[in-house]
Chains A and B, each alone.
Chain A
């Protein structure tokens, strides 16, 4: 499989990234290099190996259902570019 500029544009759109024409070329090349490297795995026998979802061999980390204090409205909104009362204020979202 080979990554084209169109693939880069598609992924960039999903990620809401705006790329220049030269950047698209650069990224297509880099992605192809990464995929090419990963291709090497195909040479391995992975029959009976469970697909790895996590790098750390750990399971069942839980918290109990106990309330901890929220940080408060002012702290929650401290980094908001714009607030309105207790709301984050964003451009009108049309349904």
Chain B
């Protein structure tokens, strides 16, 4: 029998606020355990949580960027369960009336039509603390609890079960990741857990309209692992059914070392969270004016910018896609275009030398030592014939190392292109005299030898001869 996988994703997005969602403790990562805590996030009796306004602003932006409706009146709820990393015995979350509802993202796999993936809801909640086990400084027996992360603001983005393959799931996830990092509301660091994903996976016979029992796969902290975990889980369920077994609804943990999912027995007990409205937090009312203000503050989103690069700047689709991979890169590119004017020329350099140098040195585009203005200046030197495209790469390397302006480097190193035909003719004459055999070959019809002469002239001029002039003069002289 053929099976159809059905996948829905729950993504936790840690928000880039300075303080926690319900208290003023800092959200800094990697501090001494329990040093970023106060009575609110420690869950001490009598402490009163107060909502961080910025969390609401960020949630609205996320909702508007994913085509959600913003709920005019939303409330917080207590989700009750016991675990040592949850000091209050409940997590403050949203249950009924989450802040954002009924959105969507369009994904497109290569060679396929675009497909709309529904977003059920986005809600705000607090993170739990962190448990540490084993041999850590200062920790003897048992487990250690660090509540620095407790009360850190999260958005949970819940998709509809609209995804039908691991590739679709990854595509959706990447797009969501791009949006939240683009908005500047999340740093997107998956290893540190700032953007984490749980996948609900089930399978059903092809043609069926009854969903199978789903398993929830947790702990997948890279795009690669999401793909692996979902594929493993799909195959596990198919094998189970084919062998006459049944899938049980359970939480499973992905083990990246084994590439497998395994049952988390500790969480097998059916959940009964006894949600109820949190009386400590008053309702959140967001009027139309607030929504519109947020909408006006939204940056141009990656998809819009990609389209504009194609329609207004005339870039090929591929270039537009690459240059909108992240906001900083697209802004660098636009600054370069503003200073130079030729979008395609700037695109080639940003996607070529710049990207290569950034990757080689592990530098972020924000810290690129060659600014867009300096890049534009370099391209103008090529346009004006001062240097050749080949020499420009040498100049670029020097700009990267020293941060100097290109015209300074060209002057200092005497790299100005030689376009003077007299000087080039002299070089050509010398080379033709020294290579009489090849001259004969060329004149005898072996035109491939032309490239040899170009190479020799460029070498003799240390790359400074103007290639267009060289080509023209060579053609003339070789004809004899």
Contacts and interface: CB of A to CB of B under 8 A. Distances in A.
A70 B34 CA distance: 9
Interface string A60-81: 1111111110111100110000
Chain A interface bracket (under 10, 10 to 19, 20 to 34, 35 or more): 35 or more
A70 B36 contact: yes
Contacts of A65: 17-19, 52-54
A20 to B, nearest CB: 21
Interface residues of B, number: 55
Nearest to A68: B24
Interface string B5-33: 00000000000011100011110000011
A49 interface: no
Contact of A62 (B32, B50, B132, B283): B50
Contacts of B56: 62
B37 A87 contact: no
Given A77-B34, A86-B32, A87-B138, A54 B145 contact: no
Nearest to A79: B44
B194 to A, nearest CB: 17
Contact of B140 (A60, A66, A89): A89
Chain A, interface SS category:
loop
A77 B34 CA distance: 8
Contact of B35 (A86, A88, A92, A95): A86
Nearest to A55: B279
A16 to B, nearest CB: 6
B241 interface: no
A93 interface: yes
A94 to B, nearest CB: 6
Nearest to A52: B277
Contact of B137 (A16, A85, A92): A85
Given A62-B56, A85-B137, A85-B139, A53 B283 contact: yes
Contact of B26 (A55, A67, A95): A67
25 contacts: A56-B282, A59-B284, A61-B51, A64-B53, A65-B19, A67-B18, A68-B19, A68-B38, A72-B35, A73-B32, A73-B34, A73-B35, A77-B34, A84-B138, A86-B32, A86-B138, A87-B34, A87-B144, A87-B146, A89-B144, A90-B144, A91-B143, A92-B133, A93-B143, A94-B266
Interface of B: 17-19, 23-26, 32-39, 42, 50-54, 56, 73, 75, 80, 82-84, 131-133, 136-147, 253, 264, 266, 272, 274, 277, 279, 281-285
